[in-house]
């Protein structure tokens, strides 16, 4: 396939929920980082998700353009081409998009998907995340409902968030956020279900917050309360039945213990975003290469250096391999190894 269609994507999510594992959704910013993900999923025999944020899209379009939608289109087209050479399934997703960026990011990408569908192709992206957590929950869901209607028409899935993920990522700074904002209440979860379920046939994922914090922290420094997910799911199921149970998303997982991660899988988490750890894994071998080869990557004191050492292909291959290994670890941490549905 292997960039999935709507039916296969739904099958992926259902498979994860039924078997209590989750897909690592890896943020990428380039062809190299996308390739690392595809290699990792194939080696681990796991289907997976690759996602692009607004900042990632801006970077991919080049420092002169900083066009988030254009960069996301470029990365997605690369993945559509290369993924066909692998024997696992891949879903393409866009990460946090705040209300002020919907018209410049999500909607142009939806328009691109519509053009592809009309030409007999699969949509460009399989799902999009609207992050309206900065808004009062009614305004958040007002926008989310409209987007879900648009997604449904194109065979796309929408991810939403209620509550705030702390820390800083991709230029959005929630440092110092009041503690109560970091936890989604059962009442919030009921409200989200009631609003989104009004879109008959629409499919969505929900990033409920339970103390999550973007960034990098030592284990134990992020105070998660996974029982919030359990209690919220229970409230929804008690009122509307088992079919109402959410497909949950775990944001801000860096520094979480493996026990906490596994606990969330019991409560319906089927997707976990991974960015900070893969950024470090990509950068670490480049730093090592530059320190070890300082006088060869630079033309020091009139010398010519060593082209083999400063050719970017050399150290980017090492970065790609290192990131691949970290993605495989994410697959294993989320109990996803060997779970591919096949193509």
Instruction: Provide the β-strand partners of residue 25.
Output: 49, 273
Residue with tokens 């956020």: 177
**Packing angle between helix 107-118 and helix 137-154, nearest 10 degrees?**
20
**Packing angle between helix 31-44 and helix 312-333, nearest 10 degrees?**
40
Choose the catalytic residue: 67, 95, 188, 275.
95
Q: Is 95 a catalytic residue?
A: yes
* Residue 288: CA count within 13 A, CB half-sphere: 12
CA distance 185 to 234: 12
CA distance 118 to 253: 38
CA distance 125 to 114: 10
No. of helices (H) and no. of strands (E), the chain: 13, 11
Cβ(46)–Cβ(343) below 8 Å: no
* 206 token code pair: 């929900």
Q: What is the DSSP string of 54-108?
A: HHHHHHHH-TTT--HHHHHHHHHHHHHHHHTTSSS-EEEEE----GGGIIIIIHH
Which residues are CB-neighbours of 14 under 8 A, at least 6 positions away?
none
- CA dihedral 32→38→43→49, nearest 10 degrees, is 130
Supply the residues annotated as catalytic. 95
């Amino acid at each position: 396939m292997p960039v999935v269609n709507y039916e296969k994507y739904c099958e992926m999510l259902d498979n994860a929920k039924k078997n209590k594992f989750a897909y690592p959704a890896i943020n990428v910013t380039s062809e190299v980082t996308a390739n690392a993900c595809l290699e990792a999923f194939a080696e681990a025999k796991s289907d997976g998700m690759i996602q692009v944020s607004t900042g990632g899209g801006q970077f991919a379009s080049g420092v002169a353009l900083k066009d988030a939608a254009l960069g996301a289109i470029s990365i997605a087209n690369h993945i559509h081409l290369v993924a066909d050479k692998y024997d696992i399934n891949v879903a393409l997703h866009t990460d946090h998009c705040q209300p002020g960026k919907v018209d410049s990011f999500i909607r142009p990408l939806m328009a691109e998907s519509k053009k592809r569908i009309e030409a007999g192709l699969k949509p460009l992206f399989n799902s999009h995340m609207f992050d309206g957590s900065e808004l009062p929950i009614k305004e958040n869901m007002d926008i989310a409902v409209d987007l879900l209607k648009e997604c449904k028409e194109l065979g796309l899935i929408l991810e939403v968030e209620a509550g705030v993920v702390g820390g800083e990522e991709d230029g959005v700074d929630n440092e110092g956020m009041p503690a109560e904002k970091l936890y989604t209440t059962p009442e919030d979860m009921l409200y989200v279900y009631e609003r989104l379920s009004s879109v008959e046939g629409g499919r969505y994922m929900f990033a409920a917050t339970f103390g999550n914090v973007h960034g990098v922290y030592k284990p134990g420094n992020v105070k998660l309360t996974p029982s919030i997910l359990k209690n919220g799911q229970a409230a929804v199921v008690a009122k509307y039945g088992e079919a109402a149970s959410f497909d949950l998303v775990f944001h801000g997982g860096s520094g979480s213990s493996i026990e906490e991660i596994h606990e969330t899988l019991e409560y319906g988490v089927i997707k976990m975003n991974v960015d900070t750890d893969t950024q470090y894994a990509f950068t670490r071998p480049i730093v090592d290469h530059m320190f070890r080869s300082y006088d060869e990557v630079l033309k020091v004191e009139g010398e010519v250096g060593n082209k083999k050492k400063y050719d970017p292909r050399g150290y980017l291959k090492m970065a790609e391999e290192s990131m691949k290994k970290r993605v495989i670890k994410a697959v294993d941490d989320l109990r996803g190894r060997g779970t591919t549905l096949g193509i």
